[in-house]
C-alpha cells in the first residue's frame, strides 16, 4: 500500500513556486531517496508528504485516501534539526513517550542510555537528541517514515548504526521510508529508487 504524492505544486505565501508538478510514490517496504541541491524543496516536500503542510496543487494519498487528520500520524517525520522538533520544557522521558513507550531493546539498539531519559533536551548533544527523535518516530502505528537529513550531524559510524536499526525495523514491519539527503553516497547505498529535485 503506497504513500503517494501526485502533481504537487507548492509556494510559500507571496513566494515563488518551490515545487512544480512533483510526483513521488513510496510503497510499503520500499526505501526511496529524495535528493537535490540545497533550497530545491526537499524538506518542503517531506513536510507535505507527512501532512505538516498542504500542497497548493495536487494531493497526497495514503492507500488511495487523503492523509488522516488527528490521532497518531502513520507518516512520521524525523526532522533535519532535532532541537526544533522537541519541546524544550519536557524531559526526554516525556518526549519519548509522547507517541509510544519504546522498549529497552530499541533504545539500546539506537545507542540511547537509560540515564539520558532524565535529562532536558539541552543536556544532550545534537546526535543524542536525534536518536530520541528516531525512536519516537518508530511507534507501532507508524507505516511510513520521512527521514529528512536524519543522520547528517552524526559521524559515519553512528550514522551507519542508526540506519542499520531503522532499516531493520522497516524490513520487519514493512514500513516505507523516504530518505531525504544531499549525500549521494548515502542515497546510493540505501535506496532502491531515487527522485531528484531541482
Ligand atoms: N517557511 C518558509 N517561508 C518561506 N520560504 C520558505 C520557508 N521554508 C522554506 N522556504 C524556502 O523554500 C525553498 C525550499 O526550502 P527547503 O527547506 O524545502 O529546501 P531543501 O531542499 O530542504 O534545502 P536544504 O538541502 O538546505 O535542507 C527555499 O528557497 C527556502 O528559502
Ligand atoms: Mg532541507
Per-residue pLDDT 10s for the chain (198 aa) are 899 999 999 999 999 999 999 999 999 999 999 999 999 999 999 999 999 999 999 999 999 999 988 888 999 999 989 999 999 999 999 998 887 888 888 999 999 999 999 999 999 999 999 999 999 999 999 999 999 999 988 899 989 999 999 999 999 999 999 999 999 999 999 999 999 998
Angle at the Cα of 52 from the Cα atoms of 82 and 131, rounded to 5 degrees: 25
Q: What is the DSSP string of 178-189?
A: EEE-S-HHHHHH
Residue 7 DSSP SS3: strand
Which residue segment(s) compose the domain that 170 sits in?
A: 2-196
Q: Is the four-CA dihedral 26, 42, 190, 192 of positive or negative sign?
A: positive
pLDDT at position 70: 83
Residue 40 CA to ligand 1 centre (angstroms): 7
**Chain position carrying cell 548533544:** 125
pTM: 0.95
CATH of the domain at 178: 3.40.50.300
Residue 75 DSSP SS3: strand
Compute CA distances 56 → 20, 61, 67, 119, whole Å. Answer: 10, 15, 15, 40
Mutation choice for ligand 1 from 12, 46, 151, CB with most ligand atoms inside 8 A? 12
Contact between residue 47 and residue 55 where contact means Cβ atoms under 8 Å apart: no
Does 35 sit in the ligand 1 pocket, CB within 6 Å? Answer: no
Residue 146 DSSP SS3: strand
Residue 44 CA to ligand 1 centre (angstroms): 6
pLDDT at position 177: 98
pLDDT at position 31: 98
Count of structural domains, the chain:
1
Q: What is the 3-state secondary structure (H, E, C) of 107-146?
A: HHHCCCCHHHHHCCHHHCCHHHHHHHHHHHHCCCCCCEEE
Residue 179 CA to residue 134 CA, distance in Å, equals 13
Residue 152 CA to residue 168 CA, distance in Å, equals 20
Residue 191 CA to residue 155 CA, distance in Å, equals 20
DSSP assigned state of 99: T
Cell of 107: 533504545
Does 39 sit in the ligand 1 pocket, CB within 6 Å? Answer: yes
Contact between residue 75 and residue 63 where contact means Cβ atoms under 8 Å apart: no
Amino acid at each position: 500500500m503506497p504513500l503517494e504524492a501526485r502533481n504537487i505544486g507548492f509556494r510559500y505565501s507571496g513566494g515563488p513556486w518551490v515545487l512544480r508538478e512533483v510526483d513521488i510514490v513510496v510503497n510499503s517496504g520500499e526505501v526511496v531517496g529524495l535528493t537535490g541541491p540545497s533550497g530545491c524543496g526537499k524538506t518542503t516536500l517531506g513536510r507535505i508528504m507527512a501532512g505538516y503542510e498542504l500542497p497548493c496543487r495536487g494531493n497526497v494519498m495514503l492507500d488511495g485516501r487523503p492523509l488522516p487528520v488527528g490521532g497518531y500520524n502513520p507518516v512520521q517525520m524525523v526532522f533535519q534539526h532535532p532541537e526544533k522538533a522537541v519541546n524544550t520544557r519536557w524531559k526526554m522521558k516525556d518526549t519519548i513517550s509522547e507517541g509510544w513507550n519504546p522498549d529497552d531493546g530499541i533504545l539500546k539498539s539506537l545507542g540511547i542510555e537509560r540515564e539520558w531519559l532524565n535529562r532536558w533536551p539541552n543536556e544532550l548533544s545534537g546526535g543524542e537528541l536525534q536518536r530520541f527523535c528516531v525512536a519516537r518516530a518508530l511507534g507501532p502505528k507508524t507505516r511510513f517514515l520521512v527521514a529528512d537529513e536524519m543522520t547528517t550531524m552524526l559521524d559515519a559510524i553512528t550514522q551507519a548504526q542508526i540506519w542499520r536499526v531503522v532499516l531493520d525495523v522497516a524490513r520487519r514491519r514493512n514500513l516505507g521510508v523516504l530518505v531525504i539527503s544531499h549525500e549521494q553516497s548515502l542515497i546510493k547505498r540505501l535506496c532502491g529508487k531515487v527522485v531528484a529535485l531541482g
